Chains A and B, each alone.
Chain A
Amino acid sequence: MGMRTKLLLCGVVIATTIAYAVYLGASSSWQYYLQVDECLGQADLFRGKRLRLSGRVAAGSLKASPEHREANFVLEGNEHKLPVWYRGSIPDNLAEGRDVVVEGALAGDGHFQCETLITRCASKYAPKDASNAAEQAKESGTLE
């Protein structure tokens, strides 16, 4: 067997192994990533599937258990609202009006059973534009 054939064979073995690993990993972990509106617009299509949804915590809807282990809130988009039940450790900066990403599934009765809750933090590379920043500063009473 020539050197070229041997190397080619090695390459094929590597490619096949990795392709199989990719297939296993992707098929077990992929999920739709949707806006609340997008999901509830076609709720039947997504029921029972693993989902990741992004939306905003509706004002006045957040109820957290005293030990910070459970939370219920309403996730709202522009048109639709979705009640979310979450069990797990609550992120520090979960608050009403904040953009969050929830992972879980739509239950039969229409609520969303959430397993992972991610709050979107203002990242280090996200300079708020000046007017927005000024407004925020005014709200928190730091701008006179």
Chain B
Amino acid sequence: MRNIGELCLLMALVCSGYGAFTGIASRVWVHPWMKRAGFLCGIMAVACLSGAIVILGRALLIRDFDYEYVANYSSTLLSWQYALSALWVGQAGSLLLWAWLLSLVTLLFRILPTRDKLLRDAAFGILLANVLFLISILIFAADPFKPTLGTPKEGLGLSPLLQHPSMLIHPPVTFLAYALWSVPFALAMGGLIHKRLDPVTPNPGSTSMLPMAAATGNMSEPQGEPGWGGGGTATWTEIARPWAIAAWAVLGSGLLLGADWAYEVLGWGGYWGWDPVENGSFLPWLTGTALIHALMAWRHRQCLKKTAVALAILTCALCNFATFLTRSGIFSSVHAFSTSPIGWMFLGFMAVLLLGGLTLIVRRREALRPERVARNLLAREHLVLLSTILILAFALVILAGTLVNPLSPLVLGRSIVVGAALYTNVFIPVGLALLAVTAIVPLTRWGGPPLPRQRRVLWISLGTGCAVATAGFLLTQQHAIASGVTGLLTLVGFSTVAALILDARRREPDCLRRGILKALYHGRRQYAGYVIHLGLAFLAIGIAGSALGTRRSDVVMSRGEVISWAGRQIRLVSLEQHLLPDKAIAEAVLEVTQGRGTPAIVRPARHLHRLQNEWTTAVAIHSTWSGDFYTILNGRLGGGKVDLTLVENPMMRWIWLGGACAVLGAVIGIWPGETRRSAAGLLADEECDASALDLRGDRQRHAA
């Protein structure tokens, strides 16, 4: 079986290599049948990688310790879910999973209907080149099918810390996001290489952009269907948009799942520690956020083109950088990383991506000039630019803070680390400013200042927000930041609802309800964006609440004792012990009553993992909308006494709610359906908001 696995990898290597070649060279001298063979090779590569995954997965499930990988990360004591999850716990397995996911994404991208086949083929080739890179690492540096020296009877098992439901899905979700970010990158590069940076004209014959395609007999394939140009935007941005949003949502979910794991498993009461690994995957999420907005600016106003292209390249490069961080061994943080050459390969790959991208951007700078420049600071494209600057500055701080540790010995001769204070200090002003931009954006428009109507409502919303913030500050006498966040959140809600009503009125002046339905239906993309913004507002509630209002204390309790803490009555009911095949569990049973509510039971525990002979703490959380009651069992003192740490984390649930809301918004935003409209339809449906309002404003001005 192992040999078949190796063979699968080799075949995948060859197939993806050929597919990459035909895709990238498709414009130069590739015959149509060679291209077709390239497509088949792409399918073959997926099939081979699937075969390799199945073989390794089977070995993990039947605990075939002939495989070094299985012996290192699995044991007979694990349940089948965790045995299978070992697939993405180790170096080789996780790379194999990444390569497989990327190949699936590549194939999906290739078979979905497209409006620009030349661009699609080029991007397909670039994606396969990325797959090729991952497979060559698997073959030459991290072989998942390596045999063990002498088959052991038992494996080393899975680290107890990783045996948590969040860890079952967090790594594959993150790798899927990395794979998805490759698509906008490939499209941007394809667009740059083939100069597909302008709208595709309906009639391919008349354009001078495709001489080679015509020469190689591609005339039978329509290069751009009539009506696909969509309001003057470049095709690549339109194709990249759903992929970028999907990648954004998936990476965001990955980050939140990781945060949930840290919150429930690491047991220190928090969920985000600004660890190098967390920072690594947070960076592409930040630049990806900026990318999605830059794509919108390109689509609506033909500006921020260089920014959009650069961000697409940077985001994909940062995914590789994150991999470099986790696997290079340059950090000696909480995670003791292996020292392997693999990390450096990813760094090299990242350098190639960045240099190649930069060269192409410089060479295509003429085509990337903005076509229209707004003359008002409150035009949406300037708000996008402003938030991009904020996001990039924050990303730069995170990058610098992360790299201080490995780089300081080279500069200062001594190793230095910076603490979380650096990141939080920057996060607070940047986060507040971004929230403020998010809050006013529904009441602005592309290309010019808000219309008189919008401006009026904007002033009212700002007034309401300020009033709420001031009232909050005066009434509670608490943090200025908390009051600021409250005011901004009011502003977000108020301005979104007001914008919806304005839009509805415009569409149906007589019936508000029908107008709202029409606005939501026809402006689906835009309102999906506002749903995502609302999700981020919920996230802000959770982050601010849990950061500013957290309390903790250490208590010793004996059986039957009742204490009151943070508005709760807590009674230690009993101490229990359970024996499971792989671990022994000692747990304290606590009854928590808040106000007059029904009592809830929480069971903080300590687990002794037999194979590793290691204790882990299993925290117990009682979660409500006002906050989490988080309990840690530190130890049993004998005589029925236990030592506990109690933590109160207000508003924690809002973090998870915000994540869910953002994902929902993303799904609504990329749901297919509306895209099969004509260019005129697109314009009418989504861009007219501003222009129609604009017309109305003009008319008003005229009348005046």
Contact = CB atoms under 8 A, between A and B. Distances in A.
A78 interface: no
Which 5 A-B pairs have CB atoms at the shortest separation, nearest pair first?
Answer: A29-B419, A25-B425, A25-B422, A29-B421, A123-B335
| Chain A CB within 10 A, most for which of B393, B429, B433, B556 | B393
Interface string B428-464: 1110010000000000000000000000000000000
Contact of B634 (A24, A29, A68): A68
Contacts of A34: 414-415
Interface in A21-40: 21-22, 24-26, 28-34
Contacts of A133: 71-72, 156
Nearest to A54: B332
| Chain A CB within 10 A, most for which of B89, B374, B415, B429 | B415
Nearest to A136: B156
A142 B422 CA distance: 46
A134 B153 contact: no
B584 interface: no
A126 B338 contact: yes
16 contacts: A3-B374, A14-B390, A17-B429, A25-B423, A28-B419, A30-B419, A32-B416, A33-B416, A66-B635, A69-B554, A89-B645, A92-B615, A126-B337, A142-B152, A142-B153, A143-B153
Nearest to A35: B415
Contact of B422 (A6, A26, A66, A93): A26
Interface residues of B, number: 75
Contacts of B614: 92-93
B613 A140 contact: yes
B59 to A, nearest CB: 16
Given A25-B421, A143-B154, 18 more contacts: A7-B382, A7-B385, A18-B429, A22-B397, A26-B401, A29-B422, A30-B416, A32-B415, A68-B634, A69-B643, A92-B615, A92-B616, A93-B616, A99-B336, A120-B332, A140-B611, A142-B154, A142-B611
A21 B162 contact: no
Contacts of A59: none
A34 B606 CA distance: 33
Interface of A: 3, 6-7, 10-11, 14-15, 17-18, 21-22, 24-26, 28-34, 52, 54, 66-69, 89-90, 92-93, 99, 101, 118, 120-128, 130, 133-134, 136-137, 140, 142-144
B418 A26 contact: yes
A30 B417 contact: yes
B426 A67 contact: no
A3 B390 contact: no
Contacts of B376: 3
Given A22-B425, A92-B615, A125-B90, A137 B154 contact: yes
Nearest to A142: B154
Interface of B: 68, 71-72, 89-92, 94, 148-150, 152-154, 156, 159, 161-162, 326-327, 332, 334-338, 373-377, 382, 385-386, 389-390, 393-394, 397, 401, 404-405, 414-426, 428-430, 433, 554, 556, 606, 611, 613-617, 632, 634-635, 637-638, 643, 645
A21 B419 contact: no
B301 to A, nearest CB: 13
Contact of A127 (B162, B338, B616, B635): B338
Contacts of A66: 635, 637-638
Given A69-B634, A127-B338, A18 B616 contact: no
A128 B71 CA distance: 11
A124 B90 contact: yes
B326 A125 contact: yes
A83 B277 CA distance: 31
B153 A125 contact: no
A128 B513 CA distance: 64
Contacts of B382: 7
Contacts of B94: 125
Nearest to A31: B417
